[in-house]
Amino acid sequence: MSVWIIPNSSRTDIANLCDDLLKIKIMERLDENRANEALIKFLSKKLKIKTISIVSGMRIRNEVIDFGNDFILE
């Protein structure tokens, strides 16, 4: 899944889903992986999934997320 991070937001929340891109507001800044860690923590809590990793985009706003085998759409 492709995720676009909006850093330095007033709160951490889902902004919107546009085509195949999920936009998420993150309170943390982009530096030192703070936004990436906040993103993983937020998605884990929101989706109740333990295994979430960033496949690509560690240093940019456009991330590709892997939910492992825990995420099943019904």
Contact criterion met (CB below 8 Å) for 3 and 65:
yes
Contact criterion met (CB below 8 Å) for 13 and 26:
no
Mean pLDDT by 10 residues, the chain (74 residues): 90 90 91 88 88 82 77 46
pLDDT at 74: 37
Q: Which domains does the chain have, with CATH numbers?
A: 2-66 (3.30.1200.10)
d(CA 73, CA 50): 16
- pTM more than 0.85: no
pLDDT at 2: 87
